[in-house]
């Protein structure tokens, strides 16, 4: 296990090099001249040049890249162009609001989809299963934007069951504003997740140990909960771990629709304002988080499944 852990951690180094390089090239090379963008549309050549010197963009490209790495390591990404706030502060203040929508939303979805897909997998190809499949496929054929628009329009605007948008930074007051986004998040992830889990459960159901468990006379309930659910937990845990960075990011669309001051909404605002440093910083932070959780999920996988370690 130790050998595998070390190898897997070492493997992260080239990946981190790669992802920082992609982010750097995307924004500093492919995205045009950052100095000209920072200076704005009506800047003179001298102004652009002085900003270029200020941002260190007159240095050779590899020095700029090292500078960028230094920013990441010290978590100091400078300031936003539009609000002049420190980006690291913007990041930390956005995490809480994002998590207060995504964590309840994600957990509620799991509590609905796991038992439901287990039952559907067991009833495979029955009338109930086929109907549920059609419903799930229909659910995923509608754009997530439509769910948000319809939810906000009907439940908040027309029927007044929830506030249309807004935010209360106190922990007790915010739930009034997060309930509808949480509800919409659950509905729009139902279809895809049930399809995903059902496939996993069906695969488990066809394995030999299930036949053995049945052959020794265990009840269906025992087979499903004690045997299948436990074995299927491995891919489920992987999914959950890999979702963590997305829970931190929050939903770009939900947050911008409901005025939730989370990271997703922050990113949408930054895109609308062409706020380069914020977009660049957000993407690299979340990418590094994602890489880290990828590593964690692989290590967890190796803990529960010894076959992985030997590969």
Binding residues for other proteins, rule: CB under 8 A, are 14-15, 18-19, 21-23, 26-27, 30-32, 137-138, 140-146, 149-150, 152-153, 157, 245-246, 249, 252-253, 257, 267-268, 271-272, 279, 282-283, 286-287, 290-291, 294
Q: Are 231 and 197 in contact (CB under 8 A)?
A: no
Nearest CB to other proteins, comparing residues 102 and 213: 102
Residue 225's SS3 state is helix
Cα distances from 136 to residues 63, 169, 183, 185, 269, in angstroms, run 51, 36, 17, 15, 32
In the complex, minimum distance from the CB of residue 72 to other proteins, in angstroms, rounded to a whole number: 14
In the complex, minimum distance from the CB of residue 173 to other proteins, in angstroms, rounded to a whole number: 25
In the complex, minimum distance from the CB of residue 309 to other proteins, in angstroms, rounded to a whole number: 20
The H-or-E segment that residue 144 falls in is helix 144-151
C-alpha to C-alpha distance for 229 and 263, rounded to whole angstroms: 34
Nearest CB to other proteins, comparing residues 85 and 143: 143
User: CA-CA-CA-CA torsion for 65, 70, 72, 73, nearest 10 degrees?
Assistant: 140
In the complex, minimum distance from the CB of residue 235 to other proteins, in angstroms, rounded to a whole number: 17
Nearest CB to other proteins, comparing residues 68 and 213: 68
Nearest CB to other proteins, comparing residues 15 and 116: 15
Nearest CB to other proteins, comparing residues 185 and 253: 253
Output the six-digit token pair for 9.
Answer: 């951690």
Nearest CB to other proteins, comparing residues 128 and 142: 142
In the complex, minimum distance from the CB of residue 158 to other proteins, in angstroms, rounded to a whole number: 9
Among 90, 119, 96, smallest CA distance to 282 is for 90
In the complex, minimum distance from the CB of residue 148 to other proteins, in angstroms, rounded to a whole number: 9
**Contacts within 8 Å (CB) and 24+ apart, 222-226:** 224/118, 224/122
Output the six-digit token pair for 213.
Answer: 């468990």
């Amino acid at each position: 296990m130790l050998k595998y852990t070390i190898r897997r951690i070492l493997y992260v180094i080239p990946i981190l090099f790669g992802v920082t390089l992609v982010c750097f090239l995307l924004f500093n090379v492919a995205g045009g001249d950052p100095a000209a963008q920072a200076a704005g549309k009506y800047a003179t050549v001298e102004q652009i040049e002085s900003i270029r010197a200020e941002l260190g963009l007159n240095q050779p490209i590899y020095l700029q890249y090292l500078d960028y790495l230094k920013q990441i390591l010290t978590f100091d990404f400078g300031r936003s162009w539009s609000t002049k706030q420190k980006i690291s502060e913007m990041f930390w203040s956005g995490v809480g609001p994002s998590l207060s929508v995504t964590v309840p939303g994600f957990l509620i979805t799991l509590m609905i989809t796991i038992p439901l897909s287990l039952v559907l997998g067991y009833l495979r190809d029955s009338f109930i299963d086929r109907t549920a499949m059609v419903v799930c496929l229909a659910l995923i054929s509608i754009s997530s934007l439509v769910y948000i628009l319809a939810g906000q329009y009907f439940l908040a605007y027309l029927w007044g069951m929830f506030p249309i948008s807004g935010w209360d930074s106190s922990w007790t007051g915010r739930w009034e504003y997060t309930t509808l986004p949480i509800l919409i998040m659950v509905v729009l992830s139902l279809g895809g997740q049930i399809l995903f889990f059902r496939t996993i459960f069906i695969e488990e159901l066809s394995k030999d140990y299930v036949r053995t468990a049945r052959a020794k006379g265990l009840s269906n309930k025992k087979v499903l909960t004690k045997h299948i659910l436990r074995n299927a937990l491995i891919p489920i845990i992987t999914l959950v771990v890999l979702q963590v960075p997305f829970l931190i990011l929050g939903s770009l669309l939900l947050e911008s629709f409901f005025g939730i001051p989370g990271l997703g909404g922050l990113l949408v605002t930054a895109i609308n304002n062409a706020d380069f440093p914020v977009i660049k910083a957000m993407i690299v932070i979340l990418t590094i988080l994602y890489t880290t959780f990828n590593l964690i999920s692989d290590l967890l996988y190796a803990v529960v499944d010894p076959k992985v370690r030997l590969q």
